[in-house]
Homo-oligomer: A and B are copies of this chain.
């Protein structure tokens, strides 16, 4: 039975991070209209969400400004146009990908920025660069998390080495990221135990970012809460790459801290998310994502299947199984 097993109590250390614009932006190339972003900001404040991730700090030399909406880059003036000085309890986060962010230049000193949290996203083999980014962001005055992606394909030995390095870095939060939506709650439990071991040794917090390929994003997230994981990513209507993420409406319905309130989330979905779907933006659980999750593969083939408007699931299954 879990620490929070009476399901009536809550842990103050739990933080909810809204990743709708960032992971959802991968679905529509970050072309959210201003009203959507502004209303999402207000909804998060009312819902008691702790952090709102606005998007990426992407390298403008690598990515064409014309091809993406502004939340791919999260320029300071674009953030301020929404949040002003952000005189609220909601903190502002952005993601910086290893190898895709000109962080020394594009991440300002914190006293010049409304951003509170820099989320460094890395694969296991890029940890040394991730540490350089973490140190840079820490020096500039930010809270910093490190999101180790695609963890379902990692070897435990490599993961231990990475957690040891990150433990000794100034990072505040280390994330379990099930990029492929391949993990079962039981596996999550074991992985959380491993992360928590290093977190306790080095005084870090642990986070979880789940994908919904097997309809387990919410289940894995609440499993993680019971295992001592504190930072929980979620998105409105599960909006996110491929099968999407843990749904904010499910998560806030579950969490018992009175500061959280699910109604503003429902209201936002009512006003904005169906409209988005009607405009042809497609995400969420479907058979092609189940298949890549089951096979522990990157969802890129399933995303292409979706983009092509294909529905021949059986043919697709044969394709990816024989590719394996």
Contacts and interface: CB of A to CB of B under 8 A. Distances in A.
Interface string A172-211: 0000000000001111011000000000000000000000
Interface string A215-251: 1111100110010000000000000000000010110
Contact of A314 (B1, B266, B287): B266
A2 interface: yes
Given A7-B187, A223-B185, A253 B215 contact: no
A308 to B, nearest CB: 15
Nearest to A213: B250
Interface of A is mostly: helix
Given A266-B314, A270-B315, 20 more contacts: A1-B189, A5-B186, A7-B184, A185-B223, A212-B215, A214-B250, A214-B254, A215-B215, A215-B218, A215-B219, A219-B219, A249-B290, A262-B294, A266-B291, A269-B313, A270-B287, A270-B311, A270-B312, A270-B314, A274-B311
Contact of A317 (B1, B266, B294): B266
Chain A contact residues (Cβ within 8 angstroms of B): what range? 35 or more
Contacts of A223: 185
Interface in A276-309: 287, 290-291, 294
A1 B216 contact: no
Contact of A290 (B250, B270, B274, B290): B250
A254 B212 CA distance: 15
Contacts of A226: 186
Contacts of A266: 287, 291, 313-314, 317
Nearest to A187: B7
Number of copies of this protein chain within its complex: 2
A263 B262 CA distance: 38
A66 B311 CA distance: 35
The 8 tightest CB contacts between A and B, nearest first, are A219-B219, A270-B313, A267-B314, A270-B314, A253-B294, A215-B218, A266-B313, A266-B317
Contacts of A187: 7
12 contacts: A184-B222, A186-B226, A214-B218, A214-B254, A215-B215, A215-B218, A215-B250, A219-B219, A250-B290, A253-B290, A266-B287, A270-B313
